[in-house]
Amino acid sequence: MQTLFGMGAQNWFMERPGPTMLANQFSSGFKLALLHKDLLIVKALAEAAGTDHSIVDKCLHDYGSLMAQGHGDDEISSLIRLKRAH
């Protein structure tokens, strides 16, 4: 992190959840399961409006995968678990 900060990459996200993400600590913040619930509402609204919801579908898939693995109470930055696997 210090290397990135020295290169001008310092921002709120890097300072706050960045270090906990690197340490695989996802216990504080907005819960993944709550975001998943909200995304289901967004999808329903998009469908009702006849707009594209493909990005929401991808998010629901990713967060649903994490919930199936037992990470529903984790903070939303735990999405990095899936991205590290690729």
- The CATH number for 48's domain is 1.10.1040.10
pLDDT beyond 50 at 30: yes
Q: Mean pLDDT across the stretch 2-28?
A: 59
What pLDDT, on the 0 to 100 scale, is given for residue 86? 64
When divided into structural domains, the chain yields a total of 1
Name, in order, each residue with C-beta under 8 angstroms of 56's C-beta and a sequence gap of 6 or more.
Answer: 39, 42, 43, 46
**C-alpha to C-alpha distance for 26 and 49, rounded to whole angstroms:** 34
Domain ranges, residue 43: 2-84
Confidence at 19, pLDDT banded by 50, 70, 90: low
Token look-up 């998009």 returns 46
Q: Mean pLDDT across the stretch 45-62?
A: 97
pTM: 0.70
Pick 34 or 4 by higher pLDDT: 34
